[in-house]
Structure 1
Amino acid sequence: MRFLKVLFLLIFVFAAFAAHAQSSAELKHQREELTKQLEELNHEYQETVNNKKATLKQLNLLKQQIGLREEKIKNINSEVHNLDNQISESNNFVHNLQSQLTQLKKEYAAMVLFTYRNQSAYNKLMFIFAAKDFNQAYKRLKYLQQIGTYRERQAGYIQETQTELHVKIDELDKSKKEKNNLLIDQEKEKETLGVEKNNQVQVVADLSKHEGMLKQQQQDVQKKIAKTNREINAAIRREIEEARRKAEEQARAEQRAAEAKAKAENKEVAVIPKVRAITKNSTTSEVLNATPEAAKLSSDFLGNRGALPWPVTNGSVKQGFGIYTDNEGIKNESYGWDIKTNPGASVRAVFQGQVTRISNVSGTFLVVIKHGEYFTAYSNLRSYTVKEGQKVSTKEVIGTVATDATTGEAIVTFDLYKGMTPVNPRIWLAPN
């Protein structure tokens, strides 16, 4: 029973350590990824510093660095917390093993003493022959044999417990050293974070000298965003109206054909069911899916939700979908994703469809593609390689991203609409 208790304790503790190890491994991986991103940002930031001129790009890079640095410090805190739990559990485990070892040694010493006192072969024979009958004598013989076996087993338990105790003590020392290294790394990160925040203050002070120019730049960006949204909405609205017009014309043509056929056959005029007819009261979805081809394309697009490729092969989300606050503390709303990528990167269609609109928006281009009742829009393109009415396939290149002369960043804006309603690309694009 004592052995079973020890075995159960070992299994429980090993399971707990395995869970901690998995969590610690994930945190370590996250810390390594954050360190890699920080190194890339720092390299990019140093390039802007070497230009000896404070720019919006410097400020944006510093903000990203500070955000990642704070996230890394939070990650280290989680790792330290995990290690504290591990160390506490290891201490408890070591204490239990030491108690168990002490008890095993005590029992073993008593057993050795008993054996020593009864080691005489004469005493053993007397113990056996003093039995009342043969059955009791046999049992006494087996008892003496079991004592020897049990003593050997107890010696094995003691040796195993000592070995396990040494292993756990080594692991405990290793965890303590790892925690100490993490705390040193955390202090370095905090110092670097302080430097970056001071740099941010300095850059903001330098940029404040050009406040008027910067505000004008920001206003120009907001105007461009608003104009892009208007162009997208107008393009989708035109497609809806065009689909409605074609559907109504087809319904009227079918009605006229039915009337002509009925007249020729001298029969009562058949009326096209209202289910098939598109009217002013029809929903946007019904209008855009009026044809079998459009309905199938919509279904295929929906079937790929969560698996659509990104509009660029290499990129990260700089501004997500929804309400956000800009540098001036003003709330804005993003209807898509601003994806930062490499300068001159190719922009591609995320699904097969038809190009319905190409517009020039303040010097850069917007491409809108129709996928049944769904639409995707790609803006801030330096150039485009498609034309209106052209059918494109999934991942087909439609243009190249433009690079902002002020910030030096190459950002493509990707919007996704169901009819006139913008939807969050996060639930549609595959994990990057």
Structure 2
Amino acid sequence: MSLIRLFLCFAFLIIGGSVFAQSSSELKRRKEALTREIEMLRRSQSKVASSKRLSLKQINALNAQIRLREEKIRTINSEIRLLDNQISENTNTVRSLQSQLKKLKKEYAAMVLFAFRNQSAYSKLMFIFASKDFNQAYKRLKYLQQFGDYRQKQAQYIEQTQKSLGAKIVELDHNKREKSTLLSDQQNEKSTLGKEKNNQSVQLSRLSKQEKQLRQELLQKQKEVARLNRAIQNAINKEIEEERRRAEAAAKEAAERSGTTAKPVASGSGVLAATPEAARLSSDFLSNRGRLPWPVSVGTIVERFGNHGYGVNVTVENNGVDIKTSEGATVRAVFSGEVRSVYNIGGQYAVLIRHGEYFTVYSNLRTVSVSKGQKVAVKQSIGTVITDPVDGTTQLHFEVRKGALPMNPEGWLAN
């Protein structure tokens, strides 16, 4: 039973260590990604900090920086909790191994004492010859052999337990040092977050003094959003109508050939997946939810999906996300598909790509390298992002739609 308990203990150590390593590795990767995003925002913010004119884009970038900093602190807290659990488990494991080692040594000492008292060949022979019959003599002979083998195994188990105990003590010490480092990082991040929030208050106060300019900017933003939405809505409605007509014509032709009544055509956006090719593309796009590559190689979301109020009785609806990126950044298709529209809206371009029943939208482009009807592959370049000449910001607007219905792109992009 002692050996079984020891085996189970070793198995627990291996499985528990593997789970901890995986969780810890994931948290570290997320923390490193957040650090890169924060640094990118910090650098871009420092470039436009001297600008006399403060824009909503700059405020959104500052808000995003604070949000990412808060998420980084939460990630550090998760790392600390994970380490606390691991420290507790390792402490219990060390105590269990110490107790197990003590029992093994006690059992081994008893075996050594027994072997010492019966070490002579005469004693062993007397033990065998004192048997009542041949079967008992054979069993006693096997017992002596097994006893010797067991004693050797016991010595090996003691050695293995001592090694495991030493390794766990080293790991426990490492966990404690790592926790100390994380606590220090946590304190530094909280201090930086406090400074960023103070800066946010200053900038918001500065922005409130420019209320007239802010209202004009918000109204202009609403107009641009409305123009883009109308263009996208019209293009998608046109796609749906064209597909419906093709499907009805195909159903009518098939019915005439077979002499039956034409089958009803799917309504709404479902008609966009009526053909086998479109259905397969739609299914492939859906199966990649949460794994789509980002439309830019480096970037961070500064304005999220949904309605956003700015404290001046003006609300702006965002049907996608705004991604802050580097100046001159290349925009990439997030999935294979076909370019269905290229728009010029106020000197900036927007591209609509169809993926079966789904569409992706890329706007705020300075240049476009694709045209309507062109097939595109995953990560294929479709243009470059424009940099606002007034406030110096470089932001891509990105949308995902099922038919004409806007969907939150954050749920589709890879983390």
Short-chain TM bin: 0.7 to 0.9
Written as runs of structure 1 = structure 2, the 5 A alignment for 1:144-293 is 144-236=144-236, 275=262, 283=267
Q: State the distance in 1 between where 2:190 and 2:137 align.
A: 78
| Partner AA of 1:327 in structure 2 | Y
Aligned partner (choices 392, 397, 413) of residue 374 of structure 2: 392
Written as runs of structure 1 = structure 2, the 5 A alignment for 1:122-141 is 123-124=123-124, 126-132=126-132, 136=136, 139-141=139-141
Q: Which residue of 2 aligns with 1:101?
A: 101
What SS is found at the alignment partner of 1:305?
Answer: helix
Q: State the distance in 1 between where 2:10 and 2:120 align.
A: 40
* Alignment CA distance shift 1:85-1:397 (3 Å): closer
Is this contact kept in 1: 2:332–2:382, CA < 8 A? yes
Aligned partner (choices 285, 294, 300) of residue 305 of structure 1: 285
Q: Which residue of 2 aligns with 1:35?
A: 35
- Report which stretch shifted further, 405-414 or 164-173: 405-414
What SS is found at the alignment partner of 1:184?
Answer: helix
1:180-231 residue CA offsets vs partner (Å, 9 max, x unmatched): 1111111111111111111111122222222221222122111221122223
* Alignment CA distance shift 1:305-1:244 (3 Å): closer
Is 1:5 aligned to residue 5 of structure 2? yes
| Partner AA of 1:413 in structure 2 | H
Is this contact kept in 2: 1:356–1:368, CA < 8 A? yes
Could you tell me which runs of 5 or more consecutive residues in structure 2 were left unpaired when the two chains were aligned. none
Q: Which residue of 2 aligns with 1:267?
A: none
1:158-197 residue CA offsets vs partner (Å, 9 max, x unmatched): 2222222111111111111111111111111111111111
Q: State the distance in 2 between where 1:197 and 1:209 align.
A: 19
Post-superposition offset of 1:296: 6.9
* Alignment CA distance shift 1:399-1:119 (3 Å): closer
Written as runs of structure 1 = structure 2, the 5 A alignment for 1:319-398 is 319-321=303-305, 323-328=306-311, 332-345=316-329, 353=338, 358-359=343-344, 361-366=345-350, 377-382=361-366, 390-394=372-376
Written as runs of structure 1 = structure 2, the 5 A alignment for 1:74-85 is 74-85=74-85
Q: Which residue of 2 aligns with 1:266?
A: none
1:120-154 residue CA offsets vs partner (Å, 9 max, x unmatched): 66655554554555655555455445444443333
1:216-267 residue CA offsets vs partner (Å, 9 max, x unmatched): 212211122112222333455566678889999x99xx9xxx9xxxxxxxxx
What SS is found at the alignment partner of 2:285?
Answer: coil
Aligned CA RMSD, in angstroms, stands at 4.2
* Alignment CA distance shift 1:342-1:123 (3 Å): closer
Post-superposition offset of 1:371: 7.7
| Partner AA of 1:335 in structure 2 | N
Is this contact kept in 2: 1:20–1:86, CA < 8 A? yes
* Alignment CA distance shift 1:296-1:169 (3 Å): closer
| Partner AA of 2:405 in structure 1 | P
Is this contact kept in 2: 1:315–1:340, CA < 8 A? yes
TM-score (norm 2): 0.78
Asked which structure has the greater RCO (Cα within 8 Å, sep 6+), the reply is 2
What SS is found at the alignment partner of 2:25?
Answer: helix
Q: Which residue of 2 aligns with 1:262?
A: none
Is this contact kept in 1: 2:320–2:409, CA < 8 A? no
Q: Which residue of 2 aligns with 1:405?
A: 389
| Partner AA of 1:422 in structure 2 | L
Q: State the distance in 1 between where 2:154 and 2:191 align.
A: 55
What SS is found at the alignment partner of 1:404?
Answer: coil
Q: State the distance in 1 between where 2:271 and 2:119 align.
A: 102
1:248-301 residue CA offsets vs partner (Å, 9 max, x unmatched): 9x99xx9xxx9xxxxxxxxxxx9x9884999xxx95669989xxxx95774465
Q: State the distance in 2 between where 1:163 and 1:286 align.
A: 63
Q: State the distance in 1 between where 2:187 and 2:325 align.
A: 32
TM-score (norm 1): 0.75
Is this contact kept in 2: 1:380–1:402, CA < 8 A? yes
Is 1:422 aligned to residue 402 of structure 2? no
Is this contact kept in 2: 1:354–1:371, CA < 8 A? no
Is 1:48 aligned to residue 48 of structure 2? yes
* Alignment CA distance shift 1:108-1:70 (3 Å): same
What SS is found at the alignment partner of 2:395?
Answer: strand
1:325-356 residue CA offsets vs partner (Å, 9 max, x unmatched): 23338654333343444434455676654655
1:52-100 residue CA offsets vs partner (Å, 9 max, x unmatched): 7755454333212211111111111111111111111111111111111
Written as runs of structure 1 = structure 2, the 5 A alignment for 1:62-81 is 62-81=62-81
Taking only the aligned residue pairs, the percentage that are identical comes to: 47
- Report which stretch shifted further, 421-430 or 31-40: 421-430
Is this contact kept in 1: 2:279–2:357, CA < 8 A? no
* Alignment CA distance shift 1:39-1:318 (3 Å): closer
Q: Which has the larger radius of gyration?
A: 1
| Partner AA of 1:111 in structure 2 | M
Q: State the distance in 2 between where 1:304 and 1:332 align.
A: 32
- Report which stretch shifted further, 395-404 or 157-166: 395-404
1:3-54 residue CA offsets vs partner (Å, 9 max, x unmatched): 1221122112321221111111111111111112222222222222355775
Q: State the distance in 2 between where 1:318 and 1:309 align.
A: 18
| Partner AA of 1:380 in structure 2 | N
| Partner AA of 2:97 in structure 1 | L
Q: State the distance in 1 between where 2:168 and 2:234 align.
A: 69
Q: State the distance in 1 between where 2:38 and 2:267 align.
A: 49
Could you tell me which runs of 5 or more consecutive residues in structure 1 were left unpaired when the two chains were aligned. 259-269
